[in-house]
C-alpha cells in the first residue's frame, strides 16, 4: 500500500466518521442543516450566487466569462487545478468540439485507460484498441486459475490497473469481465449463498448491475435486503441499516452472515457514506463487496481503503473519454477477489445461467507508431517484418488515461470537482419562475445533498413548470440529448416515506422517484457546467416544454399512421 500521509490526515475525519453516533439526525434536522450550509460554503459577499439572487429567464443569465469569474471568486482554489485544463486541451481535444461533452451520465462512469490523442495514434484502421476473447468457466477455482494465466501485455495491464486502484498484487486477484454488470453476475453466481445466506445492498437508485445480482440471489433462495434512505438528503437511515447488519441470521458460528454490497457514494445523488459501514459489516461477519463506480478517479488513494480491505471490489474501464455512446469501442469490467476470501466462491453453488460465468482476456489491437508522419500503409507493411519486437512494444505501452489521473492526484481532482459541483448546485437553485417574491416558484429542486462539503460529484434534481408541476425527467433527457448535454433520467429507490407510513403487512413504505442526474468527471471543466446551467434555464420558457409535448404527439401520430398503412399493405 502506498503512503499518502497528507491525504490521510485530510480524509480521515470524512472517511471514517461514525454514522452510528447517538446524535443521529431526523429528516427535519438534516433538511435544516442543509439549508444552513447551503450558502455558507460560498464566500459571503464574494459571489453573485447569494441567497436572494434569482434568474427568471435564460437571457438573464450572466455570460460565461462573468460566471467563471464568480466561480474563482467563490472557490479560489479552482485556479490551482489548471493542470487539468492543460491536459484536456492537449490530450482530449475531442472534448473541446462543440458536438461533444465530458459530463458523464450515471450509467457510464468508467475510468479511461488512454487519452484521445493516444487512441488516435494507436488505433490506425481499427475501431478499438483491444480484442476481448471470452471464456466460460464453471467454478471460482477455474476462474481464478484462468486469471493467473497471462501474456506479457496482460501482466503489465494488471499491474498498472492494480497500482492505479491502490491494491496490493499479493493481496488480490483481478478478473476481467465483459462489463460492470457481468462482474456482478459472476460474483452472484459463484458466491456461497448456501452457507452465507444474506444479501444486503446500499443503493438509493436503481442500478441494473445490482438488480441482476439481486435476481440471481433470489433464484438461489436468498431474500435480499436493502438500506433505506431519507428524503430529501437521500442519506442512509443509519439505525435501520445498523439493525439489519447486526441482526441478520447466520447458519453457524463458522459461517459469514452474507454479502454486503456497498458503493461509498451514490452515483446519482452524490450522497456520501462513511467507510465505517464496511468496518461494522466486517466486524459482524459479512463479506464486503465495494463498488467503486461512483468514486472519483483517485478516491481509492484515501485512508479508508487502507484500513478496511474489502473482500471483493468491482470497477470498470473504457478506452478513452468522451466518445459517443454508439462508438464501437471496447471497455471491460474488473472483479477483484481478495485471496484470503476466495473460499467464499463455492463450487457447490447451483448456477442459474452458465452464460453468466463468462470472463474475458484483453489483447492489444494497435500498431506501434514510429513517428507522426508514418502512414497507415507503412504501418501495415512494417507490422509483418517487425513481429519480433511487437510483443515488447505492446507490453510497455503507457496507459496515459491512468497516468493523467495519477499526475493530477486525489487532492487536486477532489478540489476541482468540489468547486464545480457546489457552484452548479447553487446556480441551479437560483433559477426561479417569474413572479412576486412571495409566490415565486423554483425551477429546480435538488434531490440529495445540496452543498455539503463531503458530497460526491453527481447531482440529481427535478425541473418544475411555472405551475409547480414536475417536468418528466425522460423529456428533459430527450431534450438534453438533442443539445449534446449529458443529463440522464434515473430512478431513486428505497426512499423512506414522509411520516414513516406502513404497508398493510407492517413494513415501511418506500418511494420511487424519477430524477434528472448529471455526473462530473476528472476532465470536466467550467464550460461543461455552464452549458448544463444554460440548458436547464431554457425550461423557464413555458413554450420550450409545450413545443416538445406537441412534437412528441406529432411523432406518435405519425408512427400510428405509418403502422396503419403498413397493416393495410399487408392485406
Task: Give CA–CA dist 128/398, Å, rounded.
Answer: 16
Contact 357, 138 (CB under 8 A): yes
Helix (H) / strand (E) containing 51: none
Q: Which of 190, 238, 245 is nearest to 213 (CA)?
A: 190
CATH fold of 31-104+409-500+508-554 reads 3.90.1150
- Give the count of beta carbons closer than 10 Å to the beta carbon of residue 318: 21
Residue 396 — very low, low, confident or very high, per pLDDT cuts 50/70/90?
low
Mean pLDDT of the chain: 82
Name, in order, each residue with C-beta under 8 angstroms of 170's C-beta and a sequence gap of 6 or more.
339
Q: What are phi and psi of 271, to 5 degrees?
A: -65, 135
Burial of 519 (0-12, 13-18, 19+ CB in 10 A): buried
pLDDT of residue 161: 95
Mean pLDDT lowest among 29-38, 51-60, 275-284, 515-524 = 29-38
Helix (H) / strand (E) containing 570: helix 542-570
Q: Which of 139, 137, 140 is nearest to 342 (CA)?
A: 140
pLDDT of residue 109: 63
Q: Which CATH architecture has domain 130-246+261-370?
A: 3-Layer(aba) Sandwich (3.40)
> What 3 state SS string does 107-163 have?
CCCCEECCCHHHHHHHHCCCCCCEEEEEEECCCHHHHHHHHCCCCHHHHHHHHHHHH
Name, in order, each residue with C-beta under 8 angstroms of 256's C-beta and a sequence gap of 6 or more.
195, 196, 250, 285, 286, 287, 344
Name, in order, each residue with C-beta under 8 angstroms of 523's C-beta and a sequence gap of 6 or more.
84, 87, 88, 92, 95, 102, 321, 322
Contact 344, 325 (CB under 8 A): no
Grid cell at residue 522:
476528472
Residue 331 — very low, low, confident or very high, per pLDDT cuts 50/70/90?
confident
Name, in order, each residue with C-beta under 8 angstroms of 85's C-beta and a sequence gap of 6 or more.
525
HSE-up (13 A, CA, CB side) for residue 478:
11
Task: Give CA–CA dist 341/309, Å, rounded.
Answer: 11
More confident residue, 547 or 221: 221
Q: Which of 186, 163, 481, 172 is nearest to 332 (CA)?
A: 186
Task: Report CA torsion sign: 413, 416, 420, 425.
Answer: positive
Residue bearing cell 490506425: 124
Grid cell at residue 377:
500503409
* pLDDT, tens digit, 9 for 90 and up, residues 367-383: 544 433 333 344 344 44
Farthest CA pair distance, the chain: 78
Domain boundaries, the chain: 31-104+409-500+508-554, 130-246+261-370
Q: Which of 290, 270, 269 is nearest to 279 (CA)?
A: 290
* pLDDT, tens digit, 9 for 90 and up, residues 121-169: 887 656 788 889 999 999 999 999 999 999 999 999 999 999 999 999 9
* pLDDT, tens digit, 9 for 90 and up, residues 499-510: 555 555 445 667
Name, in order, each residue with C-beta under 8 angstroms of 516's C-beta and a sequence gap of 6 or more.
460, 461, 462, 463, 473, 476, 477, 487, 488, 489, 490
The pLDDT of 382-397, averaged and rounded, is 48
Distance of CA 89 to the CA centre of its chain: 24
Grid cell at residue 149:
494465466
Contact 228, 497 (CB under 8 A): no
* pLDDT, tens digit, 9 for 90 and up, residues 25-55: 444 444 444 444 444 444 444 577 776 788 9
Contact 270, 421 (CB under 8 A): yes
Task: Tell me the whole-structure pTM to 2 decimals.
Answer: 0.84
* pLDDT, tens digit, 9 for 90 and up, residues 75-120: 999 999 999 999 999 999 888 754 445 454 434 467 899 999 998 8
Q: 225-226 and 198-201: which strand pairing?
A: parallel
pLDDT of residue 17: 47
Please determine, for residue 16, whether its predicted confidence score (pLDDT) is greater than 60: no
Contact 116, 91 (CB under 8 A): yes
Contact 358, 136 (CB under 8 A): yes
Task: Give CA–CA dist 127/327, Å, rounded.
Answer: 8
Beta strands in 365-464 (DSSP E): 444-446, 458-463
pLDDT of residue 140: 93
Contact 126, 327 (CB under 8 A): no
Q: What are phi and psi of 343, to 5 degrees?
A: -65, -15
Grid cell at residue 414:
477532489
Residue bearing cell 436547464: 536
Grid cell at residue 142:
477455474
Amino acid at each position: 500500500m502506498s503512503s499518502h500521509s497528507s491525504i490521510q490526515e485530510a480524509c480521515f475525519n470524512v472517511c471514517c466518521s461514525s454514522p452510528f453516533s447517538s446524535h443521529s439526525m431526523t429528516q427535519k434536522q438534516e433538511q435544516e442543516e442543509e439549508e444552513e450550509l447551503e450558502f455558507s460554503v460560498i464566500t459571503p459577499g464574494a459571489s453573485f450566487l447569494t441567497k436572494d439572487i434569482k434568474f427568471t429567464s435564460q437571457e438573464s443569465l450572466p455570460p460565461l466569462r462573468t460566471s467563471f469569474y464568480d466561480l474563482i471568486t467563490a472557490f479560489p482554489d479552482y485556479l490551482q487545478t489548471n493542470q487539468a485544463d492543460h491536459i484536456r486541451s492537449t490530450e482530449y481535444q475531442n472534448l473541446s468540439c462543440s458536438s461533444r461533452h465530458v459530463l458523464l451520465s450515471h450509467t457510464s462512469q468508467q475510468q479511461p485507460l488512454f487519452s484521445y490523442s493516444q487512441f488516435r495514434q494507436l488505433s490506425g484502421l481499427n475501431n478499438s484498441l483491444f480484442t476481448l476473447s471470452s471464456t466460460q468457466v464453471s467454478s471460482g477455482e477455474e476462474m481464478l486459475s484462468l486469471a493467473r494465466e497471462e501474456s506479457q501485455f496482460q501482466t503489465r495491464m494488471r499491474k498498472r490497473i492494480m497500482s492505479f486502484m491502490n491494491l496490493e498484487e499479493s493481496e488480490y486477484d483481478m478478473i476481467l469481465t465483459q462489463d460492470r454488470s457481468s462482474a456482478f453476475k459472476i460474483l452472484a453466481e459463484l458466491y456461497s449463498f448456501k452457507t452465507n445466506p444474506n444479501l444486503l445492498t446500499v443503493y438509493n437508485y436503481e442500478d441494473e448491475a445490482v438488480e441482476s445480482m439481486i435476481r440471481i440471489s433470489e433464484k438461489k433462495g436468498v431474500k435480499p435486503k436493502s438500506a433505506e434512505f431519507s428524503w430529501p438528503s437521500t442519506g442512509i437511515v443509519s439505525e435501520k441499516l445498523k439493525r439489519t447488519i447486526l441482526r441478520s441470521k447466520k447458519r453457524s458460528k463458522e459461517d459469514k452472515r452474507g454479502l454486503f454490497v456497498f458503493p461509498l457514494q451514490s452515483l446519482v445523488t452524490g450522497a456520501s457514506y462513511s467507510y465505517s459501514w464496511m468496518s461494522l459489516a466486517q466486524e459482524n461477519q459479512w463479506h464486503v463487496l465495494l463498488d467503486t463506480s461512483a468514486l472519483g478517479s483517485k478516491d481509492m488513494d484515501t485512508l479508508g481503503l487502507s484500513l478496511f480491505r474489502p473482500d471483493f471490489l468491482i470497477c470498470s474501464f473504457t478506452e478513452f473519454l468522451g466518445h459517443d455512446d454508439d462508438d464501437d469501442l471496447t471497455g471491460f469490467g474488473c472483479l477483484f477477489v481478495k485471496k484470503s476470501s476466495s473460499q467464499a466462491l463455492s463450487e457447490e453453488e447451483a448456477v442459474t445461467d452458465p452464460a453468466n460465468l463468462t470472463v474475458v482476456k484483453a489483447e492489444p489491437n494497435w500498431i506501434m507508431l514510429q513517428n507522426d508522419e508514418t502512414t497507415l500503409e507503412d504501418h501495415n507493411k512494417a507490422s509483418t517484418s517487425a513481429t519480433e519486437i511487437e510483443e515488447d512494444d505492446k507490453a510497455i505501452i503507457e496507459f496515459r488515461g491512468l497516468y493523467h489521473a495519477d499526475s493530477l492526484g486525489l487532492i487536486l481532482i477532489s478540489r476541482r470537482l468540489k468547486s464545480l459541483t457546489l457552484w452548479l448546485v447553487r446556480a441551479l437553485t437560483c433559477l426561479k419562475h417569474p413572479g412576486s417574491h412571495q409566490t415565486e416558484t423554483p425551477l429546480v429542486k435538488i434531490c440529495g445533498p445540496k452543498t455539503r462539503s463531503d458530497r460526491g460529484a453527481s447531482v440529481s434534481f427535478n425541473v418544475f413548470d411555472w405551475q409547480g408541476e414536475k417536468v418528466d425527467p425522460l423529456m428533459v433527457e430527450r431534450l438534453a440529448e438533442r443539445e449534446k448535454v449529458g443529463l440522464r433520467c434515473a430512478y431513486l429507490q428505497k426512499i423512506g416515506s414522509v411520516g414513516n407510513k406502513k404497508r398493510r403487512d407492517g413494513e415501511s413504505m418506500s418511494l420511487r422517484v424519477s430524477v434528472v442526474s448529471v455526473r462530473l468527471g476528472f476532465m470536466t471543466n467550467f464550460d461543461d457546467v455552464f452549458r448544463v446551467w444554460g440548458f436547464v434555464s431554457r425550461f423557464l420558457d413555458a413554450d420550450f416544454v409545450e413545443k416538445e409535448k406537441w412534437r412528441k404527439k406529432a411523432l406518435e401520430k405519425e408512427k400510428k399512421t405509418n403502422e396503419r398503412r403498413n397493416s393495410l399493405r399487408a392485406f
